[in-house]
Amino acid sequence: MQIPLNQFEQYIDETILKRGLSYFKNGYVSIPEEITLGVYEAIVSGSEDYTVELKIKNNTVEEYLCTCPYDLGPVCKHVVAVLFYIQKDVLELNQKVIPLHRSKEKTSTKNAKKKTISEQINEVLEKITHDELKQFILNKTEHNIPFRNIFLSSFAHQNSNESRDIYAKQVKSILSTAAGREGFIYRNQTGSVGKQVNELVHTAQKHVENKNFKSAIFICTAVMEEMTAALQFADDSNGDIGGYIDFAFELLFDIAKEKLPEEIRTLLFEYCLSAFEKRIYFDWDWHLGVLNIASEILNNEKEAQQILVFIDKVHLSEYEKEESQRIKFNIIKKTKGEIEADKFIEQNLSNPILRRESILKSIQQKKYEKAISLAKDGIKHDEKDRPGLAKEWYDWLLKVAQVQNDKEKIIEYARFLFIDNFRHEQDYYQLLKNNVEQKYWMNFVEEIIKDVTLKKRWLDFDLIANIYIKEQWWSKLLELIKMNSSLSYIEYHEKFLSKDYADELVFIYEKEIINYIKNNAGRNHYKTACKYLRRMIKLGGRETVEKMVFDFRMLYPHRSALMEELNWVCG
């Protein structure tokens, strides 16, 4: 998530916020160094030293990364500690202790701009000799395995013996270290695996930029194969392993779109066929994906037939059949031309991928009636068994109406999709506002709310709440929250109401927290309740919270975990 610097406290769990503040105040944060423009790095001391990296643009933290193993939420206490350091002047905070590892601040003039780390490195590189640099690299590669791997993968294309095996060994080494004696990679280790493999894949990306396609292919295929195998002995619930397989696969697809030398094209084509035949990625999307890459770079009818034979002789699921038809379509388009490709689409319009292709092409050719017919036929075909897909065809009808500037149809379809489509392809509400005459708008919105209310679905509270937010009808939003006052729901809408309705929010929180503690037991639940008690204090409800804490101590004296958590509320 992106975090505005001047509001970062609103985006982070109260417990993590408190721990991060404690780390900052106790001087555990080094001075953040600007590595490159807008990218900062700091060391945070804890049980170990951890490195935090922040990418800041337009006063917003766009990316953040910490080397700690924390995986219970989006932001760890170390990142928060660095955010407090960066905002210490704005928040008027001071560190109590200066950490030992902290570098001394220079007494340069106020207007002098400190050099970034990359500028400092460039300055050093200009001064040291070739032999000094060579000796440094030799020393580092001897003892630092991650550095050795990155160095070898970055320059292996200079080696005539370069092969996929070189990179496969690197990935295996990373996985083996993370797996330990048990042979299993637990979730708290997959982040470390991902970070190191990320370096490899980014090296491949650099190779693509520099037209070193062979090296990029070797790295990507090594990462894909070894990481796919690792999915069998790893907890990848965080997606760190699968995500980098996707990253490597997408790079291969990017390579396939390049104008490749014949040797490289053949290398990639043959790899794709071999990987499919050996079922290296069987039961994963990449299994058919490699044939899709092959279809992008095929060069003649013989190669086309090789792909088609593979597709036709394997048993495919319904999803895979749709994907395989898309591959066949690509092959026909490449080898037989647009007319034959169009015929293939017409014969397989039940495939949404091909119907989508046909609608898009019809719009591009300004054959709007054909596009409308295809979309309406898609609605009839899919509204019973695949209603979500039917909504997509409605969205295509809307797109045609927009191209034709048909306001009546735009309003009809946008209204339907706003009410009935929970996956919004467009901002249907804004479309309606742009096309309904202003003098009718208020009545139009009231009718939408009436129709939504009649449907009585769980998601309609959110839909109506969003209308109230867009129209800034705060009193109506408050009444809606009273009807659906779960703690998380109150918290989400607090930012819209706190200015004018702080007292009312305190009252709603109070009622909900009392019920929450009555009906839930366990430390995690108590932490949640206390988090919202602290939100009440921020809203000006300290007296109410103090009374609630007193009452909870009287009502639940034997809940020791609750008693402990309450100690942190009013301090």
d(CA 204, CA 248): 8
- Greater confidence (95 vs 433) lies with 433
Q: Helix (H, G, I), strand (E, B), or coil: what is residue 64?
A: strand
Nearest to 235, CA basis, from 271, 279, 287, 182: 182
**SS3 assignment for 347-399:** HCCCCHHHHHHHHHHHHHCCCHHHHHHHHHHHHHHHCCCCHHHHHHHHHHHHH
**Is-above-0.85 flag for pTM?**
no
CB 61 within 8 A of CB 54: yes
Q: Helix (H, G, I), strand (E, B), or coil: what is residue 256?
A: helix
Q: Which stretch of 172-181, 223-232, 485-494 has the lowest confidence by average pLDDT?
A: 172-181
d(CA 286, CA 265): 19
d(CA 229, CA 374): 42
- Per-residue pLDDT, 113: 56
Tokens of 394: 């409605």
- Per-residue pLDDT, 157: 66
The amino acid present at 188, given as its one-letter code, is N
Note the pLDDT tens digit of each residue in 399-411. 999 999 999 999 9
DSSP string, 411-424: HHHHHHHHHH-SS-
Pairing mode of beta strands 3-4, 33-36: unpaired
* DSSP-assigned beta bridge partners for residue 39: 36, 55
Q: How confident is the model at residue 8 (pLDDT cuts 50, 70, 90)?
A: confident
Kindly state the DSSP code that residue 48 receives in the 8-state scheme.
S
**The dihedral of CA 95, 99, 101, 107: what is its sign?**
positive
CB 528 within 8 A of CB 536: no
The neighbour count for residue 305, using CB atoms within 10 Å, is 13
- Greater confidence (379 vs 130) lies with 379
The neighbour count for residue 528, using CB atoms within 10 Å, is 21
- Per-residue pLDDT, 98: 46
Nearest to 370, CA basis, from 357, 381, 383, 382: 357
> Which residue reads 């400092």 in tokens?
120
* Percent of the chain residues topping a pLDDT of 90: 56
Report the helix count and the strand count for the chain, using DSSP H and E: 27, 5
The tally of CA atoms less than 13 A away on the side-chain side of residue 325 is 20
Q: How confident is the model at residue 547 (pLDDT cuts 50, 70, 90)?
A: very high
Note the pLDDT tens digit of each residue in 117-170. 677 778 888 888 888 888 888 887 777 777 777 676 677 666 667 888 989 988
Q: At what angle do helices 487-519 and 542-555 cross, to 10 degrees?
A: 30
Note the pLDDT tens digit of each residue in 460-493. 788 899 999 999 999 999 999 998 778 988 998 9
Note the pLDDT tens digit of each residue in 412-457. 999 999 988 767 778 999 999 999 999 999 999 999 999 988 876 6
Which positions ≥6 away from 97 have C-beta within 8 Å?
26, 27
- Per-residue pLDDT, 459: 58
* Element at 313 (helix H, strand E): helix 301-313
* DSSP-assigned beta bridge partners for residue 52: 42, 66
d(CA 140, CA 504): 62
Which positions ≥6 away from 194 have C-beta within 8 Å?
240, 241, 243, 244
* Element at 456 (helix H, strand E): none
Q: Helix (H, G, I), strand (E, B), or coil: what is residue 56?
A: strand
Answer whether residue 99 shows pLDDT above 70: no
d(CA 438, CA 436): 6
Rounded mean pLDDT, 170-195 = 84
Answer whether residue 101 shows pLDDT above 70: no
- Per-residue pLDDT, 216: 94
- Per-residue pLDDT, 467: 93
